[in-house]
Chain A
């Protein structure tokens, strides 16, 4: 199982970024997929951000990103995306994609290496 994130970078407040997570080694269309973020520095808390059902028909978001972030998936490319709009400084974090153990959402089992998003003026 391999998950590889890309698309992170530095962006100004109010800007947008699109993260991608290319996967391999498992039947992508069988499993739910998550985005989880981790704030940098000494207080490295983990925070769940978004979840997409195995078939992409149902998506769910943490309250602070709901309406600003959109998770999507392309099962033909085994890739999950996170479109991030109206970015705020508090969105600065390392963003990980993570595979769920099942299709409908239980626990994250495999994680990518992460991609850093920095929101700063």
Chain B
């Protein structure tokens, strides 16, 4: 399968909101609610932010929210902080026991 499509980069100022999209197909994002989002700092492991489209693990602030419409999932970060500057990846279950990732989005906090 091809990777999920994310914007290469997004930027916003502290305190603002930003939304990162993750476009797939009817065979992955559109077919299953196993969509997740991860944040990754340089040379660090990814950290789970959102699972099952819109659920947050304990300890993740409610500034992070997820949604899905059709074949596109979205991550919204509100009240941007300097520490949010990182790479963000989406992933989806793609059936037949396979998983697919997005290409990643670099978030710059201006």
Contacts and interface: CB of A to CB of B under 8 A. Distances in A.
Interface of A: 34, 44-48, 51, 58, 60, 62, 96, 101, 105-114
Interface stretch (B68-76, B77-85, B98-106): B98-106
B107 interface: no
Given A101-B51, A107-B34, A96 B103 contact: no
A65 B91 CA distance: 19
Shortest beta-carbon contacts, A-B, top 8: A60-B97, A48-B99, A111-B45, A46-B101, A107-B36, A107-B51, A106-B34, A109-B48
A109 B57 contact: yes
A91 to B, nearest CB: 17
Interface residues on B, range: 20 to 34
Contact of B45 (A51, A101, A114): A114
Contact of A107 (B3, B45, B91): B91
Given A107-B36, A113-B45, A45 B3 contact: yes
Interface of B: 3, 34, 36, 44-48, 51-52, 57, 87, 89, 91, 93, 96-101, 103-104
Contacts of A111: 45-47
A34 B46 CA distance: 14
A96 B45 contact: yes
A108 B47 CA distance: 9
A110 B89 CA distance: 15
Nearest to A34: B99
Contacts of B98: 48, 60, 62
A42 B48 CA distance: 22
Contact of B36 (A62, A108, A112): A108
